[in-house]
């Protein structure tokens, strides 16, 4: 990046709350020398940016000083637009409306030349067209309310309607939100069952935040929560063509624990999963490029499913 762009990002970095930064830390972050960072500090002082320094803590910004947040380069603006187009392509109607609101607000404060550039990106950059134009939009649940509970470490209560069974009131310690394929999930500790559970947001109703603090003794292991195992899981082994491996690994709703190269451009992949009916249908998208090795029960389900399809 050029010096102007680096100095802008340096100002944004220094005004972030938290610990101050040393020259060495800043130089490493931007991939430049200490001398370059000192020149940047001199340039900022010439335009009256109140950079502060403490010999024990390092550099920061005078408390209360803010710079305009919408000082985008054209590349940064393009990145924002691609991100908004990702959100607008989802089937969650609330997310789409929020993304359109953000886009409108950005357009209203940009200079004319960047506004035209943004309009061009918005109309001619399409992300996930089949999802954007083909899927019916629906309510995806109140992810924002739950994110507020998570940030405040407060318990939530709601009525939940499972795929099978009756509606029950649940009290949960919410840990993380996960968006998977076309829906939001909240993973947290259920007080009804006393263990970690996954809840789909569109099946929740009457969600409210309780004035009950969550007692967290250690940092949340996000990866561990997403790929946690339980007693219902079975080991699944498949043989996959090389050409399909990246798509398989990028979308598999489980964590691969072992993979091994076989002959004839094949990869052996092993993972655990708790729902054979679901994974059977999911694996079907790979057609003849995938062969199920084990378990035998999954092979039987595959034959049964294919038989029904042929009928």
CA distances from 199 to 46, 107, 180, 225 (A): 54, 36, 12, 13
pLDDT level of residue 64 (50, 70, 90 thresholds): low
Q: Start-end ranges of CATH 3.30.70 in the chain?
A: 234-310
- Above pLDDT 70, what percent of the chain? 93
Residue 25 contacts residue 58 (beta carbons within 8 Å): yes
Is residue 68 over pLDDT 70? no
Question: Could you report the per-residue pLDDT of 29-52, keeping only the tens digit for each?
Answer: 888 999 999 999 888 888 878 888
Question: Could you report the per-residue pLDDT of 290-299, keeping only the tens digit for each?
Answer: 999 999 999 9
Question: Could you report the per-residue pLDDT of 259-294, keeping only the tens digit for each?
Answer: 999 888 899 999 999 889 999 999 999 999 999 999
CATH topology of domain 3-61: Arc Repressor Mutant, subunit A (1.10.10)
Greater pLDDT, 222 or 111: 222
pLDDT level of residue 7 (50, 70, 90 thresholds): confident
Is residue 220 over pLDDT 70? yes
CATH number of 143-222: 2.30.30.520
Counting Cα atoms < 13 Å in the Cβ hemisphere of 271 gives 19
Q: Start-end ranges of CATH 2.30.30.520 in the chain?
A: 143-222
Q: What share of the chain is helix, strand, coil (3-state, %, to 5)?
A: 45, 25, 30
pLDDT level of residue 69 (50, 70, 90 thresholds): low
Average pLDDT for residues 191-209, to the nearest whole number?
89
Residues ≥6 apart with Cβ < 8 Å to 96:
87, 88, 90, 137
What's 234-310's CATH class? alpha beta
pLDDT level of residue 171 (50, 70, 90 thresholds): very high
Strand ranges across the sheet with 290-294: 256-262, 266-273, 234-241, 290-294
| pLDDT on residue 67 | 57
Confirm whether pTM is higher than 0.75.
no
Backbone angles phi, psi at 199, to 5 degrees: -125, 130
- The span from the first CA to the last CA of the chain, in angstroms, equals 61
């Amino acid at each position: 990046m050029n010096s102007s762009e680096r100095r802008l990002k340096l100002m944004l970095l220094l005004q972030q709350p938290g610990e101050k930064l040393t020259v060495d830390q800043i130089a490493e972050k931007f991939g430049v020398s200490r001398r370059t960072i000192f020149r940047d500090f001199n340039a900022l002082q010439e335009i009256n940016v109140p950079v502060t320094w403490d010999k024990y803590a390092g550099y920061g910004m005078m408390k209360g000083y803010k710079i305009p947040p919408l000082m985008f380069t054209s590349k940064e603006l393009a990145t924002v637009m691609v991100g908004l187009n990702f959100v607008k392509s989802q089937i969650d109607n609330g997310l789409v409306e929020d993304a359109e609101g953000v886009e409108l607000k950005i357009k209203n404060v940009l200079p004319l030349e960047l506004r035209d550039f943004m309009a061009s990106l918005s109309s001619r950059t399409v992300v996930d067209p089949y999802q954007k134009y083909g899927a019916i939009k629906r309510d995806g649940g109140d992810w924002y309310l739950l994110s507020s509970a998570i940030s405040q470490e407060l318990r939530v209560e709601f009525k939940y309607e499972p795929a099978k069974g009756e509606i029950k009131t649940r009290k949960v310690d919410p840990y993380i939100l996960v968006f998977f394929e076309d829906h939001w999930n909240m993973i947290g500790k259920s007080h009804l069952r006393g263990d970690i559970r996954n809840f789909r947001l569109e099946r929740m109703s009457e969600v409210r935040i309780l004035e009950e603090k969550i007692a967290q003794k250690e940092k949340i292991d996000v990866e561990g929560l997403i790929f946690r195992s339980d007693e219902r899981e079975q080991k699944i082994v498949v043989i996959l063509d090389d050409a399909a491996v990246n798509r398989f690994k990028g979308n598999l709703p489980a964590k691969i624990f072992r993979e091994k190269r076989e002959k004839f451009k094949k990869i052996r992949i092993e993972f655990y999963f708790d729902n054979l009916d679901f994974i059977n249908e999911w694996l079907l998208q790979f057609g003849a490029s995938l062969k199920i090795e084990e378990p035998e029960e999954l092979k039987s389900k595959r034959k049964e499913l294919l038989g029904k399809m042929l009928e």
